[in-house]
Every structure is written in C-alpha cells, then in structure tokens.
Structure 1
Amino acid sequence: MRRLREKKDSRVDLDISPLIDVVFLLLIFFMVTTSFTKDMKLDLERPGAKSQIAAPAKALRVYIDQAERVYVDELPVKTWMLESRVREQLSGLADPTVLVVADRSIPAQTLIEVIDRCRLAGAAHVGVITQQEEG
C-alpha cells in the first residue's frame, strides 16, 4: 500500500509589520524635518518707523532710483551683476553690512530682489534706510 504524502505548503509567510514600522518612521522623520526649514523673512524698517537705529558708517550702500536702476557705492550695476559686485565689496569687511537706499516709488518686488541678492552675496545684515542721512 502506498502512503499518501502530505503536501507541505511551500509558501513562506512574510511578516511585513517591521517594513510598515520603518515606512511610518521615515514618514514622521520627513514631516518633522521639513517643518524646521527656515523661511526667508524680510525685516524691513518702513518709513515713519518709531524705532530708529543709526546707520553704520562702514556699511556698503546699495541705491535704487525711480527708474529701478541699481548703484553700489554710486557706481551703476545691472541687477544680475549685483550679487558678485556686493560680494567683492564685502570681502574685506569684518562686519558685512549692506544698507539699501530705495526710492519710495519702486515696486516691492524690486526691493525684495535687491535684498535677496545682497544676502546671497554674504551680507550678514541688510537694512533699508528710511530717512535722509545727514552729512
């Protein structure tokens, strides 16, 4: 008499709960780390501000006139060249500070672009002059 062999189940059970745990841990990690990214915020002194600080004498001045032309220490500069020119001027300064002197009629986008380019050039402090300087 022949014996019937029991068929062994060749299927292997794979426990995926550790995989799910790892996926959720990665998801939580990425959610937490993306919430800590620093937003670029502009701290601008607006005309008529109640608190005023005297402008440092050794700060680099960037001027924007009514026609949206940009000048670095009274030398005309194209907007796309501003970052490299500011980087050159700030290279020898111990405290790299840039002061933007802008006309009231320029669009806010132009002012923001100039401030961003100054920060990308390595300026530690970027300010906007709100009143006429003496001297």
Structure 2
Amino acid sequence: MRRLRQDTEQESRVDISPLIDVVFILLIFFVVTTTFVKDMNLDINRPSASSATMAPSKAVRIYIDNQGAVYIDEQPVRVWMVQSKVRTLLREGSEDVLVVTDTEVPAGRLVEVVDQARLAGAQNVGVATQQEAG
C-alpha cells in the first residue's frame, strides 16, 4: 500500500533550466551585436570647436600624440604608411576617418595625416574635438 500511495502523489516543480539557457543566449547575442568604440590610452588634449558634431562609431580612428607619433589600431605607423593602412581598413566597410590629435601637434603633421587619409579613399575626414562623443 505504501508504494501505491507514493506513485499517485505528484510533485509540481518548475524547471528553470530552459529559462537560464534562453537568458544566456540573449546575453551573448546582445554582447556580440553591440559595437564598442575603443579609444587608445594616449594622453591627448583634444582641441575645442563650437561647431563640433558627433563622429560615426564605425569611423577609422587615427591618433596623433603630442610628440607627433601616429597610431592606427594601437600600432605606431609612419606617416607614409597611413595611406595603405587606411585603405585596408576602409575596405572593411567604413567610409569615414577620424583623426584624434593633441592641441600641441603642428598643423603640418595634421595636414600630412589628413592628406594621406584622403588619398586612401576616405570620403569624410574629420578631426576629433573635446565635444566629440562618437
């Protein structure tokens, strides 16, 4: 008799394993589809401008530090190499280039880098300012 009574009693449980699986899949989906803008850890004092607008998040970023060194993808490059590096990065889908520069960089160095980016085929080349948030 005892055995018969245990079979007839049913426990009601909620299995949350599928719920946890769905939550993890959604978490992975949102992490993968989110685009992150990664700025280099250079000590750069950006110039200010009253006509500043937000830069596109997919823009190719070229950094010029206060010593005049040029960086693309956190790798130092010579000015004459900027054109080929930017051309390669533009093939990956972006049309815009954003030059992040220090206020102490000579105008000649900035013009050289912007010129090389335009020769690489960039449609829009901009200079990042303090108000740039993209």
TM-score if structure 2 supplies the norm length?
0.61
Runs (4 or more) in structure 1 with deviation over 4 Å come to: 132-135
Residue identity matched to 1:66: N
Indicate the residue corresponding to 1:125 in structure 2: 124
Identical amino acids, percent of aligned pairs: 54
- The structure number with the bigger radius of gyration is 1
Matches within 5 A, 1:1-135: 47-93=47-93, 95-131=94-130
Kept in 1, the 8 Å contact 2:99–2:125? The answer is yes
Change beyond 3 A, Cα 1:71–1:132: farther
Residue identity matched to 2:110: L
Q: Structure 1 75/98 Cα, relative in aligned 2: closer, same or farther at 3 Å?
A: same
- One-letter code aligned to 2:63: Y
Q: CA deviation at 1:134?
A: 5.2
Tell me the TM-score normalised to structure 1 length.
0.60
Gaps of 5+ in 1: 1-45
Q: Give, in angstroms, the shift of residue 128 of structure 1.
A: 0.2
Q: CA shift at 1:80, angstroms?
A: 1.1
Alignment RMSD (CA, Å)? 2.0
Partner AA of 2:106 in structure 1: P
Structure 1 residue 107: deviation in Å? 0.6
Could you say which structure has the greater relative contact order, defined with CA pairs below 8 angstroms and 6 or more residues apart? 2
Residues 95-114 of structure 1 deviation map (CA, whole Å, 9 limit, x = unaligned):
41000000111110000000
Q: Identify unmatched segments of 5+ residues in structure 2.
A: 1-45
